[in-house]
Structure 1
Amino acid sequence: MKIKKYTYIMLAVLLFSGTACSDFLDKEYDATLSDEKVFTNQTMTREFLTDIYTNLPDGLAPLNDDQFTGASRDCMTDNATSYWGLHYYTKVATDSYTAKDHPLLGQWNTDFAGIRKCNIFLNNAQASVVGNAEKSGDDNKLYERYCNEARLLRALFHFDLVCWFGDMLIVGENEDGTNIVFSMENPEQMNQARTPAADVLQWVADECDKVKDALPFRYSNETTNWGRVNGATAYALKARALLYKASALNNPTGEQSWWQAAAQAAQDFIDKNAQQSNPYQLYTTGNPENDYYECFTTNPVYNNEIILSRSVWNTNKVEQVFLPVGFTGKFSAAGRTSPTQNFVDCFEMLDGKRIDEGGGDYAYNAQNPYVNRDPRLAQIVFYQGMTWGSAKDNEQRKLDMRTDGGKDYSASMGGTCTGYYLKKFVNNISCQNPTNYPHSWIIFRYGEVLLNAAEAYCEAGNLDKAKQYINEIRDRAGMPHYEYTDQTELLKRIRNERRIELSFEDHRMWDLRRWRAYDNVTASEEQSKPYYEQLLNLYGVEISGTEAAPVYQYGPARSAQNGGVIETRVFNIPKNYLFPIPDSDVKMAPNLKQNPGWEITGE
């Protein structure tokens, strides 16, 4: 075997913002080992592969990052904002950065670093399988599985790059079958035109086809293999990639066959899953008042809905950053994500009617706004009067966000700016004696597969299939079935269902972009629409009165200034449909070309 030297360390973290591509090309590790020593040793090979997983998306990582003040990425959408006016996500949502100082530039580096590690692994692990004739059959099978894992991870990193940056380089195989490894000795490798996004997404789907049946659909010992990609991950990634390919951002002509392919990919997952002795399924105990909440707070290792997530970590950091500010003790809650009135208003009444629709069994009352609503509202959002807190340590009480004395409101930096806090992901722990709970960032779950199938089938014109899968989601939530026969109305409801079901899981930002939802939208013209339809104007509720008889004020009744808008977002088209490539990398490899609107001139 040809011996090369690769620097190597287990669980190295190659990131974050502001780093150029040269940083991941030249990353130095603790020790230098030959590929022969690493990749002919089963333990070292597994450790190298495990290190690749550190580059996967992790929506909980910003909770430990001061520049993002522990807020959710949904703060870049109409779903939420943060109390801190200078919050990085808020500034991203107002187009306040350049290709030099954008705080999310590190995603470029993270994904390319992951791809580079995958290709180093594939070049060497493949060679070890072929080159070591004395290796046992079982060892060869294990090495083949590892190679398929790396190949799938590489496809996932490419998908992520397309989401952020659009057209992208495909860093796969050379003509001789080896895998491309960028190096500073040959910077021209990167200095090439990017492949159109739709073609990259098709390549991702094709890569999934190559491994989806070679990997176990589920591992027999999931406790040992928790957090590792499997065949189900490949099926799920293919379905998501083709959904994104068929969407308006990447399918400007509306090619219908792309929607049909996306629907079939989701159906393939569903059919394959149904053949399993232990299939993935929606997390449910038959209690719609609590099942959705428990899906994100129960130990993820035992959650049959999760297909892939970042490894479990025990912490109470999630509770610290999301709980309302009135909870104090050994830690003080920060309440750093504030769901908007726009988001709260998108939850239907229990009979499936919108709050402004009328004609249903339940009339919406703006002064008693949370009764008879979709049960998921109380499982995702902390709102006025909700009972919360540890009964064990006498902390249980009703939440009080009144602006004139409410325990969970603070006029200074540190309280909700909308009248709401984020409940999803938060365990009901004691602040006096805080306990660590297992938390995991979900990358794929079965609920998303059903939503992908519903959307793709609806767009492809198969409304019966679309309703079948969207109603499975609504069954878990305790909501009535959709029976719409109008494609436009059904699609609108499916998109709203997706907004609720996948909220705060890093989907809303990409959904709005792939749908090109911001086309022909202006903040001033939006104000005539219901709050739940507005993308650029964010609203909240101001609560006064007494704790027993609160008074809710919305919009102009809350503040006549700017029609009661608490924050106005900026979305420039086409610029903000994509994020900028780091300016330093565009200078080093000018054929990459900067994304439209992000070019830096005059230098």
Structure 2
Amino acid sequence: MRTMKKIKEIKRWIAGAMVLSTVVVFQGCKIDIPLQDRYTEEAVWNDPKSAELYVSGLYAEFKKFQFGLFPNLGYDNATDALSDIMKYTATTAGNGTVNILVSNANQFNAGSVGLNYWGAGYERIRRVNEFLHGLETKSTLSDEQKLTYEAEARFIRGYVYFWLTRIHGSVIIYENLEQYATKDHPRSSEDDCWNYIANDFAFAAEHLDKTNLDGRATKGAAYGMLARTWIYAASIADNDRKRFNDDPLTGIPQEKATAYYSNAMDAASAVVALANEGLYDLDANFASIFTNKNTKEAIFRVDFSAPLMRHQYDLGFAPPGDAPGNTLVYGVPTAELVDEFEMADGTKFSWSNSVHSVEPYENREPRFYATVLYHGANWKGRTLNLSESNSEGFIPYGSMGDPKRTVTGYYAKKMLDPQNTDFVVNGSTQSWVELRYAEVLLILAEAQTGVNQLTDAVSTINKLRGVRGLPNAYANTKSAVMALIEHERMVELAFEGHRFWDLRRWRKAHTVLNGVQFTGHKYTGFDYEVVSADNTDRSFIGALYYLPIPEAEVQRNNALDQIKGW
């Protein structure tokens, strides 16, 4: 029976991998697989094509987080809507579940968790470990191919563990298949978890080629993810200091922060070195990064192609006039994000400045026009009228359960495809860029700041700002440089799924996201009125820096204790 079960599992995975690989990963490449009634483990490991399809299928994990998605919330940009840069428009469960979570921290509990990836994440980890076990014990592939596949599998495992550790801090580490012989396993320390993730990405970086098939891991992608891992570990060591949780396994000793910042700097510098070889670069056309599949700014991305592999991002975020009666308008930018974009000359925008307030959307920095749709913006051949009386204009939050209109006076433009005029029928095919060069530079700047290389950090920031059409910024204290980095990450990476997690790792979420209501700007016909986009204060307590493990998982694992405080 166990053999038959294994055969069925392998067969299911091969079938799924065949669809994913031929449509997403390989795009135009044709792969001919002999049809077989069933796939045994031996068939997988003796047939290079079958092994290729198996490892390709493992990449499906990245689709779970495409466009800022979080698996059990179900909608794109969901985690940004947990932060201060995006407001979900609905009040009802489903489309408005994010709003229910942000307004009541008690919605996060061990029974429902609120952000739950535990079961799905560990299912993927087991599949990766099964693959690695078979690769080591049964495969007849060449040593070179084995090493490449191991590197790819560990890249994927590192990504899954990154998410689990990002959520919970202290999780269970499964290094090999033998551990599954027993069901009871304890959590490892948060420090050990981040180091384990780093080891997987470091192995991948060492053994992967600089180039690969589209949608597959490369040396640069592995170094980039390694840099992301170390900057998380470093900032938690620097900022947590056991102020929010008494669990003995969460938190990282503060004295390790400098070493981890150095590790992040080294990994990011390795990506910069690859960029200097011509593999990556900042894209002078900011808007095109997200619709041009050939942009050199993308280090790791998920591709789509019509008609079989499409997504619904445009349907979810385009303004109603793009497809009257059909667009869903899940989320819209907040005024807090809009106000963060600078003027074209690099000065801070302010509604108190009479020149700025008269024409608030004139002479703003280029990223603003690529990120936000506002009243008076030109979009798909029309000028947007976002006044309250217009069918795609402002509507007060809470006045309808699911309004499918803006509740802030803005729409999210970034990542929309301006050439897609029939996305209701055709769907969308622009790529999801999981990792891009701009993020690596921001990680590098933050790491340089962490080790007090402030001049270098400002230079790195200005490299990015220069390509974005902005003048140099200046700062000469650690706090001032960090303020620049926080600002740049907020506007540069808006709607790419970073903001909520940044506020958590900097340990600023309990101040930025608690006891406040975020706002919008309603055009009145003469000027702009500040309106609340929330009908109750936001709620973020210190306990949310380490979310609880699902209670069902604790009950079935006798060695697994709940994170303290839950």
Name the TM-score class by shorter chain.
0.7 to 0.9
Match of 1:237 among 225, 242, 246: 225
Give how far 1:439 is off: 2.0
| Kept in 2: contact 1:539–1:567 (CA 8 A) | no
Q: Residue in 2 aligned with 1:281?
A: 281
Q: Residue in 1 aligned with 2:546?
A: 578
| Kept in 2: contact 1:239–1:263 (CA 8 A) | yes
Give how far 1:388 is off: 0.7
The answer to whether the aligner puts 1:149 opposite 2:149 as a matched pair is: no
Superposed, 1:1-12 pairs within 5 Å as 5-6=6-7, 7-8=9-10, 9=12, 10=14, 12=16
Give the letter aligned to residue 254 of structure 2: T
Task: Rate the CA distance shift 1:210–1:97 in 2: closer, same or farther, 3 A.
Answer: closer
Give the letter aligned to residue 164 of structure 1: I
Give how far 1:515 is off: 0.3
Give the stretch that moved more between structures: 61-70 or 87-96: 61-70
Q: Residue in 2 aligned with 1:430?
A: 421
The answer to whether the aligner puts 1:100 opposite 2:111 as a matched pair is: yes
Q: Residue in 1 aligned with 2:204?
A: 211
1:515-542 deviation per Cα after TM superposition (whole angstroms, max 9, x unaligned): 0003456855xxxxxxxxxxx4211112
Match of 1:90 among 87, 93, 99: 99
Structure-2 separation of matches of 1:590 and 1:432: 49
Give the letter aligned to residue 338 of structure 1: V
Match of 1:551 among 498, 522, 527: 527
1:564-583 deviation per Cα after TM superposition (whole angstroms, max 9, x unaligned): 8655210011x211333211
Structure-1 separation of matches of 2:166 and 2:156: 15
Q: Residue in 1 aligned with 2:520?
A: 540
| Kept in 1: contact 2:373–2:410 (CA 8 A) | yes
Match of 2:302 among 307, 310, 317: 310
Superposed, 1:123-522 pairs within 5 Å as 123-129=133-139, 132=140, 139-173=142-176, 179-180=177-178, 182=180, 186-188=182-184, 191-192=185-186, 194-219=187-212, 225-247=213-235, 248-249=239-240, 250-251=251-252, 253=254, 255-274=257-276, 276=277, 278-284=278-284, 291-298=285-292, 300=293, 302-314=294-306, 315=310, 317-328=312-323, 332-356=326-350, 365-389=356-380, 396-405=381-390, 407-410=392-395, 412=400, 413-428=403-418, 429-431=420-422, 435-519=426-510
Task: Rate the CA distance shift 1:60–1:104 in 2: closer, same or farther, 3 A.
Answer: same
Structure-2 separation of matches of 1:439 and 1:64: 19
1:192-229 deviation per Cα after TM superposition (whole angstroms, max 9, x unaligned): 1x12222211222223232313210223xxxxx11111
* Count of aligned residue pairs for this structure pair: 514
Give the stretch that moved more between structures: 401-410 or 78-87: 401-410
| Kept in 2: contact 1:68–1:89 (CA 8 A) | no
| SS in structure 1 at match of 2:328 | coil
Larger % of helix: which?
2
Identity over aligned residues, as a percent?
25
Instruction: List runs of 5+ in structure 1 lacking aligned partners.
Output: 14-29, 174-178, 220-224, 285-290, 390-395, 525-535
Q: Residue in 1 aligned with 2:23?
A: none
Q: Residue in 2 aligned with 1:113?
A: 123
| Kept in 2: contact 1:316–1:434 (CA 8 A) | no
Give how far 1:433 is off: 8.9
1:100-137 deviation per Cα after TM superposition (whole angstroms, max 9, x unaligned): 234532x11222122111111111122244xx4xx6xx
| Kept in 1: contact 2:291–2:417 (CA 8 A) | yes
Higher relative contact order (CA 8 A, sep 6+): 2
Task: Rate the CA distance shift 1:343–1:172 in 2: closer, same or farther, 3 A.
Answer: same
Structure-1 separation of matches of 2:157 and 2:75: 30
Q: Residue in 2 aligned with 1:591?
A: 559
Structure-1 separation of matches of 2:112 and 2:145: 43
Give the letter aligned to residue 89 of structure 1: V
Give the letter aligned to residue 41 of structure 2: D
1:43-99 deviation per Cα after TM superposition (whole angstroms, max 9, x unaligned): 111111112111225444788999645554311111111110231122222322432
Structure-2 separation of matches of 1:476 and 1:59: 28
Task: Rate the CA distance shift 1:264–1:401 in 2: closer, same or farther, 3 A.
Answer: same
Structure-2 separation of matches of 1:466 and 1:399: 39
1:290-344 deviation per Cα after TM superposition (whole angstroms, max 9, x unaligned): x11110112x2x1211111223244472221111123335x72222211111111
| Kept in 2: contact 1:349–1:373 (CA 8 A) | yes
Give how far 1:408 is off: 3.2
Structure-1 separation of matches of 2:361 and 2:42: 63
Task: Rate the CA distance shift 1:321–1:272 in 2: closer, same or farther, 3 A.
Answer: closer
| SS in structure 2 at match of 1:308 | strand
| SS in structure 2 at match of 1:427 | coil
Structure-1 separation of matches of 2:143 and 2:289: 37
Structure-2 separation of matches of 1:490 and 1:306: 26
| SS in structure 1 at match of 2:340 | coil
The answer to whether the aligner puts 1:55 opposite 2:43 as a matched pair is: no
Structure-1 separation of matches of 2:412 and 2:38: 46
Q: Residue in 2 aligned with 1:569?
A: 538
Structure-2 separation of matches of 1:171 and 1:55: 18
Structure-1 separation of matches of 2:100 and 2:135: 44
Give how far 1:446 is off: 1.1
Structure-1 separation of matches of 2:72 and 2:114: 12
| Kept in 1: contact 2:125–2:160 (CA 8 A) | yes
Give the letter aligned to residue 147 of structure 1: E
Task: Rate the CA distance shift 1:382–1:595 in 2: closer, same or farther, 3 A.
Answer: farther
Structure-2 separation of matches of 1:280 and 1:332: 38
| SS in structure 2 at match of 1:187 | coil
Structure-2 separation of matches of 1:421 and 1:172: 44
Give how far 1:164 is off: 1.3
Structure-1 separation of matches of 2:332 and 2:131: 42
Instruction: List runs of 5+ in structure 2 lacking aligned partners.
Output: 18-35, 241-250
| Kept in 2: contact 1:168–1:195 (CA 8 A) | yes
Give how far 1:588 is off: 1.0
| Kept in 2: contact 1:367–1:552 (CA 8 A) | no
Task: Rate the CA distance shift 1:521–1:334 in 2: closer, same or farther, 3 A.
Answer: closer
| Kept in 2: contact 1:55–1:110 (CA 8 A) | no
Give the letter aligned to residue 420 of structure 1: Y
| Kept in 2: contact 1:236–1:266 (CA 8 A) | yes
Structure-2 separation of matches of 1:452 and 1:480: 20
Give the letter aligned to residue 303 of structure 1: T
| Kept in 1: contact 2:83–2:513 (CA 8 A) | no
Give how far 1:438 is off: 2.3
Give the letter aligned to residue 569 of structure 1: R
Structure-1 separation of matches of 2:423 and 2:218: 41
Task: Rate the CA distance shift 1:521–1:79 in 2: closer, same or farther, 3 A.
Answer: closer
Task: Rate the CA distance shift 1:581–1:124 in 2: closer, same or farther, 3 A.
Answer: same
